[in-house]
Amino acid sequence: MFSYIHPDNYSSQLEHKKQHIADLFAEFNLPEFEIFTSEPLHYRQRAEFRLWHQDDDLYYIMFDSKTKQKFRVDKFPVASKLINQAMKALREAIINKPVLRHRLFQVDFLSTLSGELLISLLYHKQLDEQWQQQATDLQQHLKSTLNVNTVGIIGRARKQKIILDNDYVFENLKVANKIFTYQQVENSFTQPNAKVNEKMLFWAQQVTADLGGDLIELYCGNGNFSIALAQNFDRVLGTEISKTSVHSAQTNITKNNLTNVDIVRMSSEDFSQAMNGERKFRRLEGFDLTTYNYDTVLVDPPRAGLDPDSTELVSRFNNIVYISCNPHTLEENLKTLVKTHKIEKFALFDQFPYTDHIECGVYLTKR
């Protein structure tokens, strides 16, 4: 099923993406855009699999995106080497252990470049003390077998979550010879291709290197960009609606010894109202928004792109850094933004090789 995922195919699939972007954005007369490649194999730090039980056998399955037919997965070449090793070690460890195997229907893996691993086991049954004891033994077995110091295990069932050690890992990303540390929590969004994420952060650092002033980031997540860009600005204020991501972002501020970054939990719509003085929010107590220099904004919205109100808010800034995971909604947003701004730089980040998915970066300045 994965014959198309091969280093020999990488260049041609990337050329196809480059042409697609050139065609899609032809009306904008883009500057020559930069292309940031991925490792051709073992580039994903996250993977999710269903479990299939057949008599005495147990194996991972995935579903064909076109036919919806299931197929067996013993190796997953796009996932990190650590995840591939863990897939095999986990299956062999639980296949003859009824307590761990019974009614297990899904396994999620989260790994890091720094060698940490988190495994979530999802069940259609309630988990008891016997399960917890065997899961603890499993955890120690995997640490030894995989030769890693950190293997977290989480057991999930209906209205139940059992955490052995932690429900997060710490990733170390190298950007321009500097290491940034990020907490990544189970079930929270993080960039899956860590090496390409390093390139995205480097690109964003370069385009904002001489801007100075303050940075406002909408949809900041766990502070992925805020942390790495703090060195280019006097102050950084990030907004994020997810409580878990906000907590991680605040942890990451501390882990990276930053004193000029603040994260507040609010939507871009609420922030727009606060910035306009239309409403007061308890979450902004202690922040005087009138003192911020609103020259530069960074947005990394979901696939739906920016809604009209957020687009209007973003268009007020002199400098816009737009990170997009959907070129089609990006194209729609740019139709509005180019009325007030000029596209200075454009980048393609190959986060998901061998798929139609394309990640883009755009830097715009006020006309």
One pLDDT digit (tens) per residue for the chain, 367 residues: 677 788 999 999 999 999 999 999 999 989 999 999 999 999 999 999 999 999 999 999 999 888 889 999 999 999 999 999 999 999 999 999 999 999 999 999 999 999 999 999 999 999 999 999 999 999 999 999 999 989 999 999 999 999 999 999 999 999 999 999 999 999 998 999 999 999 999 999 999 999 999 999 999 999 999 999 999 999 999 999 999 999 999 999 999 999 999 999 988 888 888 887 788 888 888 888 888 888 999 999 999 999 888 899 999 999 999 999 999 999 999 999 999 999 999 999 999 999 999 999 999 999 9
Task: State the fold for domain 7-40+191-366.
Answer: Rossmann fold (3.40.50)
Of 171, 198, 217, 359, catalytic: 359
Residue 359 known to be catalytic = yes
The C-alpha atoms of residue 181 and residue 170 are separated, in whole angstroms, by 7
Q: Give the pLDDT of residue 226.
A: 97
Please state the domain extents for the chain.
7-40+191-366, 46-169
CA-derived radius of gyration, the chain: 22
Q: Which residues contact 179 (CB under 8 A, 6 or more apart)?
A: 172, 173
pTM, to two decimals: 0.94
Residue 325's pLDDT is: 95
325 annotated active-site: yes
- β-partners of residue 24 are none
Q: Tell me what pLDDT residue 20 has.
A: 96
| pLDDT per position as a tens digit, 240-251 | 999 999 999 999
pLDDT for the residue 14: 96
CB distance 221 to 61 below 8 Å: no
Catalytic residue (one of 198, 220, 325, 360) = 325
The answer to whether 183 and 248 have CB atoms below 8 angstroms apart is: yes
Domain 46-169, CATH number (from 3.40.50.300, 1.10.10.10, 2.40.50.1070, 3.90.230.10): 2.40.50.1070
